[in-house]
Amino acid sequence: MRACERLFGLLFFCCAVWLLGCDEHLAGTHEAEVTFTVKGHAPERTPTPSSSSHAKPQTLAEAAISPVLTRLATLHITADAEPVGDDKIKLTLDKDQVETAEDGLKWPGGIELDDLDAEFTMPLAQAGGLVEKTEVIDGKTVKFWEGARIDIAHAIGATKVPEGHKLVGQAYDSMRGRTRWIHTPSLAVLAGGVSSVSRINGGKGISIKLRPDTAAAMKEAADHTHGPVAIVRGTSVLVVQPITAATSSFDVSFGDDIYSYTRAHMTMKLLETPPVPPLERIEVKPLAPDWSVAIACIVIPIIMSIGWLVFVRRFDRAQPEPWWLVLATFALAIVSRGQVDVPMRLFVFNWTDDDATLWRGVAINPILWVSPVPIGPADEEKESEGCLSVPGERYPLRRSELAILTAVDLDQKPFEIRAEGWLARIFQHEYDHLEGVLYVDRLDHAAGKAAAKAVKKSGWGEPGLSWMPGIDDLEG
């Protein structure tokens, strides 16, 4: 009887937690089919040694599937895609994501260099939530709208702009921004001109490097403008800056708040996606709920969770974890699943050197530069390391004697530390953890062999063996 009560309680708990952590709609119950016509020309299929000369040419629709799904996946939109005839594709996705998907697919890829128009203005078709502002720049009165970025995006989508101009938005920070007018056509369209995109400013910004073959386009753009140029992705201004024929990169900052990491990461990933051909939406068709999919998406995770919970309880029979602790762990994991979309890496350090100087801090999205590792064997007395991942053991390891750490702290302020000696070793040890590397992975052959034997002898990783950091003294 007690076992039955526990099972029903577990089922109720799993359902409750699942509902807390699930999306607004069950899978398969709130979907739509969206059909697009693919514009342009079918790509030529490059023959390979293994391909037949009679292979069927790839259609427009078939060629569009891969870049479309890649773009949607980068936007965190789950969709199925299939070709319909030679020039149409059909997407199946959540109804609430149709507008976001269509907006994301309007951008063909790459970046544009656009000339700002400070004099042009016109009423917005949808200005809800926006405030009209006026400022004077170089003696000219400029009108624009300011407000939430989502309201600016809606205004851009709803406003029909006359030929020769384009309405875009420029963000102040993660929440607010303003409108800008630019001339069309663009000074330069660098659809395939981005060579690489990398993080800067501890992950709160990106650096866009251009391909060498864009030099001619940059020179032509520089010759046709005498002021700052807007670097635009779709309808979003990334940065406004002067350009010359020698400009080969753009640095873009996304602010100083916690959301700047996500915005920088998302923009970097979008710029890395392949170009998407022009698409024209021709139909949106709501689908009837598929309750078999919805039930499977509920039942299968619950069954797997119960099996895992039972396994965890039986894993350590000598000192099994209490049920409430195991359930609480699963509850926190499920409820917090929507909170893990911040691309952040960090480690903490706390050490006092021989001069009684305390080195304590949090390094968020760190970058570490190190000097070459000295040649020769490690000193067993002065260069031995330990780690809680391999408790109770210490082995000599040669490390770089100099390390320069750049990161941002909890207050979102960038900092740099030039470390030598043991502090440099600490930074290298912790940075390795972020890369999935343990110090024992870097040992020489003899020490590595000894470490492997010690781990096997101690039984780390075997069922029934556990220890508590801070309580169990494994090195005493």
pLDDT of residue 470: 58
For residue 308, pLDDT over 80 is answered with no
How many CB atoms are closer than 10 A to CB 8? Answer: 10
For residue 471, pLDDT over 70 is answered with no
Q: What is the CATH number of the domain that holds 257?
A: 3.30.1360
Highest averaged pLDDT of the listed ranges 153-157, 328-332, 425-429, 432-436: 425-429
Residue tagged 């492997």 (tokens): 452
pLDDT of residue 399: 93
Same domain membership, residue 446 and residue 300: no
Q: At what angle do helices 60-74 and 259-271 cross, to 10 degrees?
A: 160
For residue 185, cis peptide bond before it (omega within 30 degrees of 0): yes
For residue 402, pLDDT over 80 is answered with yes
Domain total in the chain: 4
pLDDT of residue 10: 58
Q: What is the CATH number of the domain that holds 374?
A: 3.90.45.10
Confidence at 21, pLDDT banded by 50, 70, 90: very low
Asked if residue 465 belongs to a domain, the reply is no
Asked if residue 368 belongs to a domain, the reply is yes
Q: For 400, what's the count of Cα atoms within 13 Å in the CB-facing half-sphere?
A: 17
* CA–CA dist 120, 143 (Å, integer): 8
For residue 40, pLDDT over 80 is answered with no
8 Å CB contact between 198 and 207? yes
Catalytic-residue membership of 132? no
Pick from 8, 6, 20: which is nearest to 337 by CA? 20
Same domain membership, residue 132 and residue 188: yes
* Of 465 and 411, more confident: 411
pLDDT of residue 7: 56
Residue 288 CA: distances (Å) to CA of 24, 28, 81, 285, 299? 17, 9, 18, 10, 21
pLDDT of residue 136: 80
Same domain membership, residue 257 and residue 126: yes
pLDDT of residue 445: 87
Beta-strand pair 236-241/165-171: parallel
Same domain membership, residue 417 and residue 398: yes
Beta-strand pair 140-148/88-94: unpaired
For residue 51, pLDDT over 50 is answered with no
**Which are the contacts of 441, defined by CB distance < 8 A and separation ≥ 6?**
432, 448
For residue 46, pLDDT over 70 is answered with no
Same domain membership, residue 428 and residue 305: no
Q: What is the mean pLDDT of residues 127-151?
A: 84
Asked if residue 400 belongs to a domain, the reply is yes
Which parts of 50-130 are beta strand (E)? 80-84, 88-94, 111-115
pLDDT of residue 331: 64
**Which are the contacts of 411, defined by CB distance < 8 A and separation ≥ 6?**
none
Confidence at 169, pLDDT banded by 50, 70, 90: very high
Same domain membership, residue 368 and residue 323: no
pLDDT of residue 342: 59
Domain of 138, in residue numbers: 110-271
Q: At what angle do helices 60-74 and 98-106 cross, to 10 degrees?
A: 110
Q: What is the mean pLDDT of residues 290-312?
A: 75
Confidence at 213, pLDDT banded by 50, 70, 90: confident
SS3 string, 190-235, reads ECCCEEEEEEEHHHCEEEEEECHHHHHHHHHHHHCCCCCEEEEECC
pLDDT of residue 20: 47
Q: What is the mean pLDDT of residues 281-308?
A: 82
* CA–CA dist 181, 161 (Å, integer): 10
Lowest mean pLDDT among 6-15, 46-55, 197-206, 370-379: 46-55
Asked if residue 87 belongs to a domain, the reply is yes
Q: What is the mean pLDDT of residues 408-414?
A: 81
Asked if residue 360 belongs to a domain, the reply is yes
Same domain membership, residue 441 and residue 392: yes
For residue 16, pLDDT over 50 is answered with yes
- Per-residue pLDDT tens digits for 347-387: 999 999 988 999 999 998 888 999 999 988 888 889 999 88
Asked if residue 434 belongs to a domain, the reply is yes
Same domain membership, residue 402 and residue 362: yes
Same domain membership, residue 196 and residue 334: no
Q: What is the mean pLDDT of residues 75-94?
A: 91
For residue 38, pLDDT over 80 is answered with yes
Same domain membership, residue 139 and residue 255: yes
Same domain membership, residue 325 and residue 221: no
Catalytic, out of 380, 430, 462, 475: 430
Asked if residue 475 belongs to a domain, the reply is no
pLDDT of residue 71: 93
Same domain membership, residue 316 and residue 206: no
SS3 string, 352-368, reads ECCCCCEEEEEEEEEEE
pLDDT of residue 105: 92
- Per-residue pLDDT tens digits for 385-400: 988 778 878 999 999 9
* Percent above pLDDT 90 for the chain: 29
- Per-residue pLDDT tens digits for 250-262: 999 988 777 788 8
- Per-residue pLDDT tens digits for 413-459: 888 899 999 999 999 999 999 888 899 889 988 888 888 888 888 77
For the sheet with 249-253, list strands across it: 194-200, 205-210, 249-253
Asked if residue 470 belongs to a domain, the reply is no
